[in-house]
Amino acid sequence: MITRRALISTSLTGLFASLFAGATARAAFAEPASGGDPVAIVTAIYTRAAKGKGDGGGGFVIENKAAKAKYLSKSLIALWAKADAHTAKGDVGPIDFDPVTNSQDPEVKSFKVIAEKLAADKATIAATMTGSQPRTKSDDETVRYDFVRDGDKWKIDDIKGAIDGAPWSIRGMLKDSLKESVK
């Protein structure tokens, strides 16, 4: 014979099991399959760049093959490798500054990240930063990241900014370096 206590216990166990299963299913659907959205990725980059005294910079994004594989698209990595192979031994590669901070002397005191374009397979994210030294042109304070879906993850496909108001693009710099002859 089933007791009232056993009936209540069994009912509560079933109720909690169904609630837990529903919460797990909702969590699985709520999490993006991308492994992080572009805004979160850029925010994490600038959070790390601004740590300490804010002078760490963003070199960690491009410092080695593993870092590039974590952040950059396969096509940008391939272009970068081709440009590096084209660089004469002992010369500095085509990217001789910190593109994350748009500077030679990386410093980030504060930053703001916004999504300018978000689509299913492409995104453009703008990061506007400030440091202790004011920039000569306001355009120089903003770096834009073009993202693409690379498999199931969001990856940076280009980084763009301006120096003294003149626009630059990592992809463009790498392509231009391939046009130059190696001496």
Q: In what order do the strands lie in the sheet with 122-130?
A: 110-118, 122-130, 142-150, 153-163, 166-169
Please list the residues that pair with 123 across neighbouring strands: 118, 147
Q: Which residues contact 183 (CB under 8 A, 6 or more apart)?
A: 88
0.85 exceeded by the pTM? no
Q: Please, how many CA atoms are within 13 Å of residue 91, restricted to the half-sphere of its CB? A: 14
Q: Where are the beta strands (DSSP E) in the chain?
A: 110-118, 122-130, 142-150, 153-163, 166-169
As assigned by CATH, the class of the 35-179 domain is alpha beta
Q: Provide the b/e sequence for 99-132 (b: ≥16 CB within 10 Å).
A: bbbbbeebbbeebebeeeeeeeeebbbbbebbbe
The helix or strand, by DSSP H or E, that contains position 171, with its residue range, turns out to be helix 170-179
Dist. CA 63–CA 60, nearest whole Å: 5
**42-83 per-position pLDDT tens digit:** 999 999 999 876 667 898 999 999 999 999 999 999 999 999
**76-118 per-position pLDDT tens digit:** 999 999 999 988 888 888 899 999 999 888 888 899 999 999 9
Supply φ then ψ for residue 126, to 5 degrees: -110, 135
Alpha helices in 31-121 (DSSP H): 38-49, 65-71, 74-86
DSSP 61: G
Dist. CA 101–CA 64, nearest whole Å: 18
**110-160 per-position pLDDT tens digit:** 999 999 999 999 999 999 998 877 888 889 999 999 999 998 999 999 999
